[in-house]
Amino acid sequence: MIAQVLAVVIFATMFLLIVTEKFERHIITLSCGLLTLILVFGLAMQSTSAIIETLNLHSIIKSDFWYTSGSGGESTSGINWATIIFIFGMMVMVEGMAKAGFFRWLCMRLAKLVNYKPVPLFITFMIMSFILAMFIDSITVILFLAAVTIELAKLLKFNPVPMILSEIFCANLGGSATMCGDPPNIIIGTSFEYSFADFLTNTGVIAALSMVVIIIYFYLVFGRQMAKSSSQDIDFSSIPEPKEAITNKKDFIISSIIFGFAVVLLITHAQTGLTVAFIGTAVAVATLIAAGKYAFELLKKVDFKTLLFFIGLFAVVGGLEQTGILEKIAALIGDISGGNLKLMVAIIIWLSAIASAFVDNIPFAATMIPVIRSLAATQGVDLTTLAWALSMGTDIGGSATPIGASANVVGTSVAAKNGYFIGWGEYCKSAAPATIIVVMISMIVIFIRYC
Amino acid sequence: MEKQLIISVSREYGSAGHEIAENIAKEMKLKFYDRNMLDEIAKKKNMQIEHLKKYDEKPRNIFNSRKVGSFTNSYEQIIAEMQFDYIREKANSGESFVIVGRCSETVLKGNEALVSIFILGDKEVKLKRIMDKFNLNASDAAAKMRRHDRNRKQYHNHYSDGKWGDSRLYDMCINSSRLGIDKTTAVIRHCIEEIKTSER
């Protein structure tokens, strides 16, 4: 009982401190993680096995951490090292691509392809945002897209806010389509040993269907405003040529090849047996070798604070898991739903969506994973159905408000620094209905396909 | 060439710190920066001044904004950082000026030209000044004073390691209620002249 109370208090304190931002979030999660190990496992439970299980270091040295025979290994708990190593690898690769000018080149190239016409540009950038976010973290996608959008808006004299809002939404939606698109999906995938193809054929289908509806939705909301933007009196010669974005042609080609290599490895990992931890390590090593003497410079740019944040977070969630708190929450959801799978899906998807609209979806997803695992075991329902509901709820719910997802924060921040202040009212007016539409579509598809 | 002088004035609401800072700038023929710096920032960055004024010198609202790496969508924080950059730019250009608030004593910490001052006041005197200036009754004036001081404190302490109004953070702290606006201005000016002379 004391262990449970302590675990909940530490978890609640961690969440509160993250919201106040008084300290950096990795300091908060690492401190709370350490407190979990000492107070919950050490003093209250006096369980060395709980500490070992939560630290989960033994998983790294197992061969199936790097390579699986394809039979589907057991699901893991505690610190999810596969997620951390994979995210690290992708961070290194993305830094290499950014340094070579890949993202800016891609944006400028597509803008030129549509002759810088506002409405086609608006739709093209939404699609590009969706596709890029399937493979690359949404922060990077929005960072480059928003910056280029503002640059083009200034040159072509249109309001960039509708484009930025739609790009943010599509980046979050694209992230839900694959295992590596959004951190909750990586955590869900590595926790339950799902493959890239599992996500693509389940959440990917829902995301693609939603994307069609969302393009129509944003066109109806902003299309007229974008169409009004006149392309008269514009000096097209002042627009930079796409090739100017490339800082080094050799680096550009190599980083593009590594990116292609990563995509192929991810798509085929169920067949090859290579795990995401292996893929992350492989792309990081390839990028660092290609960077040569700049490898250290590239490594310095990696956001290690986020990786530390994950480590601490998993330890705190491990506290809730080991003390049985999450099983109680699962039992509560089971009681409310009365064993009805449709009701369970509805609760999980809407609870995840609403919570993710206001709090960071990563801690939420990490907390909910043991909950749905327990729910599936005790209620005898299909775990994958609950996992897709959790994935869509956490990935899409964050789109509703300016603070719901990292891409929203970065997009609105870049806009504000350039003089375009997007208030909560303006943001939610278009994003909240879009979120509700996609969550509804997701719920209906899950009902029809799995329930 | 005259040696650079930067006077940073922090103040309690109702202490007449702003007025005193303005007087010092006039008398010493120095440029004066307060909220007016937003006009220049808005012009330079092609922004709407109303947006900047709305979030000026206000603490971050923890419930409607978030930080991701070095990015934040707290407009209070974005505008504060724009002002800090502006202050640093002015200081680096060698210009002498008087600046009110904006955490300037922390932003310019270590700058040899900096003289930092904190102006406080007796509660009754501050209240009377607020009541007269805004034509408010005592309770409304007290609420306004509390609100502004709370905002200034939160704003300051978010960006500074030191606490707002802590004497250890400033070169000089003075209670304007003792001497009134003109004499407080004169005392501060005298001290600044002494500092300038001793550093020559």
Quick: pLDDT tens for B60-111: 888 888 888 888 989 898 999 999 999 999 999 999 999 999 999 999 998 8
Task: Show the tokens assigned to B23.
Answer: 């007087």
Per-residue pLDDT, averaged over B134-151, amounts to 94
The lowest-confidence range among A33-47, A79-93, A437-451, B45-59 is: B45-59
Task: Show the tokens assigned to A280.
Answer: 């992350």
Number of domains in chain B: 1
Q: What is the pLDDT of residue A72?
A: 46
Residue B1 inside a domain? The answer is no
> C-alpha angle A70/A72/A74, rounded to 5°?
145
Question: Does the distance separating the beta carbons of B78 and A416 come in below 8 Å?
Answer: yes
Q: What is the pLDDT of residue B86?
A: 92
**In this predicted model, what pLDDT tens digit does every residue of A279-294 receive, in sequence order?**
999 999 999 999 888 8
> C-alpha angle A399/A405/A407, rounded to 5°?
95
All residues of chain B having their beta carbon less than 8 Å from the beta carbon of residue A19 are 62-63
Does the structure show a pLDDT above 80 at A16? yes
Does the structure show a pLDDT above 70 at A326? yes
CB–CB contacts below 8 A, A to B: 53
Task: Show the tokens assigned to B88.
Answer: 């640093």
Residue B36 inside a domain? The answer is yes
All residues of chain B having their beta carbon less than 8 Å from the beta carbon of residue A419 are 45-48, 51
Residue B192 inside a domain? The answer is yes
B164 Rama class: left (phi>0) / alpha (psi -120 to 50) / beta: beta
For B63, name the nearest residue in chain A, comparing CA atoms only.
A19
The lowest-confidence range among A105-109, B46-50, B165-169 is: B46-50
| C-beta neighbour count of A22 within 10 angstroms | 12
Residue B119 inside a domain? The answer is yes
Question: Does the distance separating the beta carbons of B64 and A424 come in below 8 Å?
Answer: yes
What is the ipTM metric for this complex?
0.80
Return d(Cα A371, Cα A366) in angstroms, integer: 9
Contact A92, A302 (CB under 8 A): yes
Q: What is the pLDDT of residue A215?
A: 97
Q: What is the pLDDT of residue B29?
A: 92
- Coil, strand, or helix at residue B183? helix
Interface of B with A (CB under 8 A): 45-48, 51, 60, 62-69, 71-73, 75, 78
Q: What is the pLDDT of residue B161?
A: 87
**pLDDT band at residue A71, thresholds of 50, 70 and 90?**
very low
Residue B77 inside a domain? The answer is yes
**In this predicted model, what pLDDT tens digit does every residue of A254-268 receive, in sequence order?**
999 999 999 999 889
Cite the beta strand spans of A368-419 per DSSP E. none
Question: Does the distance separating the beta carbons of A412 and B60 come in below 8 Å?
Answer: no
**pLDDT band at residue B200, thresholds of 50, 70 and 90?**
low
Return d(Cα A365, Cα A198) in angstroms, integer: 18
Residue B89 inside a domain? The answer is yes
All residues of chain A having their beta carbon less than 8 Å from the beta carbon of residue B48 are 419, 421
Question: Does the distance separating the beta carbons of B48 and A419 come in below 8 Å?
Answer: yes
For A412, name the nearest residue in chain B, comparing CA atoms only.
B73
Contact B91, B6 (CB under 8 A): yes
Does the structure show a pLDDT above 90 at B121? yes
Residue B142 inside a domain? The answer is yes
Return d(Cα A7, Cα A35) in angstroms, integer: 9
Q: What is the pLDDT of residue A231?
A: 61
Per-residue pLDDT, averaged over B20-34, amounts to 93
The lowest-confidence range among A70-74, A191-195, A246-250, A336-340 is: A70-74
**pLDDT band at residue A32, thresholds of 50, 70 and 90?**
very high
All residues of chain B having their beta carbon less than 8 Å from the beta carbon of residue A141 are none
B69: CATH? 3.40.50.300
Range of the domain at B24: 6-199
CA of B14, closest CA in chain A: separation in Å?
29
What one-character DSSP code corresponds to residue A240? P
pTM: 0.87
Residue B162 inside a domain? The answer is yes
For B64, name the nearest residue in chain A, comparing CA atoms only.
A403
Spatial strand order of the sheet with B172-175 comes to B31-33, B97-100, B6-11, B114-120, B172-175
Q: What is the pLDDT of residue A69?
A: 64
Q: What is the pLDDT of residue A232?
A: 64
Residue in A306, A360, A402 nearest the CB of B73: A402
**In this predicted model, what pLDDT tens digit does every residue of A111-148 receive, in sequence order?**
999 988 889 999 999 999 999 999 999 999 999 999 99
